[in-house]
Amino acid sequence: MAANSDLRGIGAMALATAAFVTNDTLMKLAMADIPPLEVLVLRGFFATLWCVPTILLLGLGRHIPKTLNGWVLLRAGCEAVAVILFVTALARAPIGDITAIMQLSPLIVVAVAAAMLREPLGAGQALLIGLGFGGALMVAQPGYGGGAVLALAGFPAAVMAAGRDLLARKAPSATPALVVALATIVVVMLGALAASRAFETAVAPSAFHLLLTASAGLFLMFGQLFVFLAYRLARASVVAPFLYLATAWAALSGVIVFHDLPGPPALAGMALIAGAGLATMLRDSRRRAAAV
């Protein structure tokens, strides 16, 4: 029975990563004509319209006031900065490359936890972190074309995503994931709105752009829902490594939709990041199991 539950959890995580990459793909298509932060605002508006009824249908409406919890809002603030940086890079860089660099966040979490929270960091973990960052440099290739954008926006976005993950430990455990997602969606939308008004010239979206952003919002909500289900159906140590499927989905999207074929260095870098991240997660799960 446990094995079947784990398989369902893995399936839910695979669907979650596919939904998130579909969301990114639709946003990148919209950003061909609309400024990236404006696209983020439109996506947030539609995602809110999708998310609130879903929360109510699932009987979680009583938890909505928890979106105002200080730790939940601080986590959402980190996510807002990460998403704004990510979308800025996504508008100008191959989707596979920027998604791969974002997968550095679990490695950054380990490094920050060791430096600031005094959690032990062994030589093996340090080596994995170094390999992950080396892989990111291979993907970004600073100084070569669009790599400069990745170097400037992809790395800080991964750092802020790591901050989001560290703050997740502080959020009340009884807060449903979809309610946390709603807080994040709204804060990201408001942050993007402020930044868009400050730095962009608004462009009137067409019906096609509205369709793209409404669909992106729907897939974002589906991604959050499937992540929620994945961790409900299976152990975190089982499903968490499958977050790295996002790199494969993004590379596939880049080839099929945008005709961006990663070169050998980028492919090798993606493999290094994914391998280092997976090994870090496996080491962490074994350490936790041994401590029980």
Tokens of 84: 């704004």
The answer to whether 69 and 184 have CB atoms below 8 angstroms apart is no
pLDDT of residue 274: 80
For residues 116 and 227, give the distance between their C-alpha atoms in angstroms, rounded to a whole number: 28
* Residue found by looking up tokens 């800025």 in the block: 88
For residues 104 and 153, give the distance between their C-alpha atoms in angstroms, rounded to a whole number: 13
Q: DSSP per residue over 245-280, as a string?
A: HHHHHHHHHHHHTS-----HHHHHHHHHHHHHHHHH
pLDDT of residue 216: 97
Name the nearest CA neighbour of 22 among 260, 270, 186, 256.
256
On the 0-12 / 13-18 / 19+ scale of CB atoms within 10 A, 64 is middle
Q: DSSP per residue over 46-65, as a string?
A: HHHHHHHHHHHHTT-GGGGG
Tokens of 185: 């969606």
With vertex at residue 229, the alpha carbon angle to CA 224 and CA 231, rounded to the nearest 5 degrees, is: 100
- For helices 177-199 and 36-57, the axis angle rounded to 10 degrees is 160
Name the nearest CA neighbour of 29 among 219, 221, 212, 262.
212
Q: Note the pTM of the prediction, 2 decimals.
A: 0.82
pLDDT of residue 292: 53
* Radius of gyration over every alpha carbon of the chain, rounded to an integer in angstroms: 18
Name the nearest CA neighbour of 219 among 211, 230, 231, 208.
211
Phi, psi of 125 (to 5 degrees): -65, -40
Neighbouring C-beta atoms of residue 289, cutoff 10 Å: 10
pLDDT of residue 215: 97
For residues 79 and 72, give the distance between their C-alpha atoms in angstroms, rounded to a whole number: 11
With vertex at residue 193, the alpha carbon angle to CA 77 and CA 160, rounded to the nearest 5 degrees, is: 25
Q: What is the pLDDT along the chain (292 residues), one digit of tens a residue?
A: 456 777 888 888 899 999 999 999 999 999 999 999 999 999 999 999 999 999 999 898 999 999 988 888 998 898 899 899 889 888 888 888 888 888 777 777 777 766 665 666 677 777 877 777 777 777 766 555 555 455 556 778 878 877 777 776 677 777 887 888 899 999 999 999 999 999 999 999 999 999 999 999 999 988 888 887 887 787 766 777 787 888 888 888 988 999 887 778 778 888 888 887 777 767 766 666 555 5
For residues 78 and 74, give the distance between their C-alpha atoms in angstroms, rounded to a whole number: 6
